[in-house]
Amino acid sequence: MKEAITPTPESAEKWEVQLRKGSLELAILAALWDDRLYGLEILRYLENSSELVVVEGTVYPLLNRLRTLGLVESEWVESDSGHPRKYYRLTAAGRQRALEMTRIWARFSASMTNLVAPLNREISKEMRKEKP
Amino acid sequence: MTLSAESQKTIDVYLAALRKQLRELMDEDANDIVEEIRTHILDKTSGDAATDTVSSTLAALGTPEELASRYRTDDLLKRAQSGRSFVLTVRSLLRWATLSFAGLVVFLVSLVGYCLGGGLVMLVAFKLIWPRNTGLWKDSGPGDHWMLSFSFSSGEPPHHGQELLGWWLLPICLILGSVLLFLTFRFGTWSIRKFWRPRAWRRA
């Protein structure tokens, strides 16, 4: 008989990391919703506005990919820092995609919240017990 | 904060390595990527808003090989999706096979298709070189069972039965082989377009 694999705390953490990573595309499109931004501004916006784990070496290839797909467009703009910066802005297709993804996200999020409601009640009970 | 000569050299070495790793891309694309990464490093390490050191900034970007690999995968995907180059499609399938199970399945199916199609086309060449020994044979086996088999060799004809196709083998194998090769190629490009999503979207 095979031995059961003992779940480790890392398993849940890894799942959380994957969940955050999977949201990165929508997060970038959302960051660009109001204004054009350059790479580092996008990274700082994501870090400040969310708990997303953003690895710099992933964001730039992803931006490049979004540009290839026609969801964002880019332009080099001179800056006061002494070097030009590559700014990204949403295209019409990118805005459309961002809205579609947000709808899907909202639907999925609502159904998952409903699904895990009993677990949330359990967590609330535990929290009440822990309070002195 | 102004960069020291040593830090500047570290950045230059990193970017040179990145550029080298991006040599498969078009020059314009590769140079654009390197310039953007240079800007990112400078923004994080020099000027009034500098927050990080050069080494920590480069570490956050990953090695030049890792960073270039993410760009290359996307570039390969982009060009393979256009479905014009056989070599590019095969390279993309190979790369995809190393990234996911779906890619491995598509690669194996394509491999079978290419082997069969290529085999049929090769039969044409064998028929031209060894006409008597290459063909579709109808042969009586043990117990009076009939057998159909392709056979080609440089020695004596391996079957004593009747060869069915004769020179018709040339157009039949050529057409079947070409169609199979074409369909396999189209299957590869269609699968790439339909199912391959860049890994970078899922990997941070």
A41 to chain B, any CB pair closer than 8 A? The answer is no
Amino acid identity at A18: Q
For position B94, what pLDDT does the model report? 84
DSSP 8-state assignment for residue B163: E
Indicate the pLDDT class of residue B204, thresholds 50, 70 and 90: very low
B65 to chain A, any CB pair closer than 8 A? The answer is no
Closest CA to B39 of A90, A40, A74: A40
Indicate the pLDDT class of residue B183, thresholds 50, 70 and 90: very high
What are B96's two structure tokens? Answer: 């995809």
A48 to chain B, any CB pair closer than 8 A? The answer is no
Is B60's CB within 8 Å of A22's CB?
no
- Which residues are bridge partners to A73 per DSSP? A89
Residue B104 main-chain phi, psi, to 5 deg: -65, -40
Please name the residue of chain A whose CA is at the shortest distance from the CA of residue B64: A57
The mean-pLDDT minimum among A13-22, B98-107, B174-183 falls in: A13-22
Contact list, B32 vs chain A (CB under 8 Å) = 86
For position B149, what pLDDT does the model report? 62
For position B84, what pLDDT does the model report? 66
* Chain A 76-115, residues with CB within 8 Å of chain B CB atoms: 76, 81-86
Average pLDDT over residues A4-27: 76
- For the cut 80, the answer to whether the pLDDT of residue B15 exceeds it is yes
Residue B39 main-chain phi, psi, to 5 deg: -60, -45
The set of residues, in sequence order, having a beta carbon less than 8 Å from that of B48 and lying 6+ positions away, is: B1
User: Tokens 């060799």 sit at which residue?
Assistant: B153
For chain B, give percent helix, strand, coil, nearest 5.
Answer: 70, 5, 25
Please name the residue of chain A whose CA is at the shortest distance from the CA of residue B72: A61
- For the cut 80, the answer to whether the pLDDT of residue B99 exceeds it is no
Indicate the pLDDT class of residue B68, thresholds 50, 70 and 90: very high
Average pLDDT over residues A30-44: 95
Is B60's CB within 8 Å of A57's CB?
yes
Please name the residue of chain B whose CA is at the shortest distance from the CA of residue A27: B201
Query: Chain-wide mean pLDDT for chain B?
Result: 81
What is chain A's Cα-based Rg? 20
What would the pLDDT profile of A40-50 be if each residue is shown by its tens digit? 999 999 988 87
Cβ atoms of A69 and B81 within 8 Å: the answer is no
What is the C-alpha to C-alpha distance for residues B117 and B59, in angstroms, rounded to an integer? 47
Is B43's CB within 8 Å of A81's CB?
yes
User: Which value, to the nearest 10 degrees, does the dihedral of the CA atoms of residues B82, B88, B91, B95 take?
Assistant: -30
B37 to chain A, any CB pair closer than 8 A? The answer is yes
What would the pLDDT profile of B135-172 be if each residue is shown by its tens digit? 777 766 665 566 556 666 666 665 566 777 788 888 99
What is the C-alpha to C-alpha distance for residues B182 and B203, in angstroms, rounded to an integer? 34
What would the pLDDT profile of B120-142 be if each residue is shown by its tens digit? 998 888 888 877 777 777 766 66
Please name the residue of chain B whose CA is at the shortest distance from the CA of residue A80: B47
- For the cut 80, the answer to whether the pLDDT of residue A59 exceeds it is yes
Sign, Cα dihedral of A48, A49, A54, A59: negative
Closest CA to A37 of A83, A74, A92, A66: A74
Q: Least CB-CB distance to A53: which of B40, B62, B204?
A: B204
Average pLDDT over residues A13-38: 88
Q: Give Cα separations from A4 to A80, B89, B152 (angstroms).
A: 60, 42, 55
What are A44's two structure tokens? Answer: 């700082």
Indicate the pLDDT class of residue A95, thresholds 50, 70 and 90: very high
Indicate the pLDDT class of residue A85, thresholds 50, 70 and 90: very high
What would the pLDDT profile of B17-49 be if each residue is shown by its tens digit? 999 999 888 888 899 999 999 999 999 887 655
Q: Give Cα separations from A96 to A32, A72, A103 (angstroms).
A: 13, 11, 11
CA–chain centroid gap for B44, Å, is 37
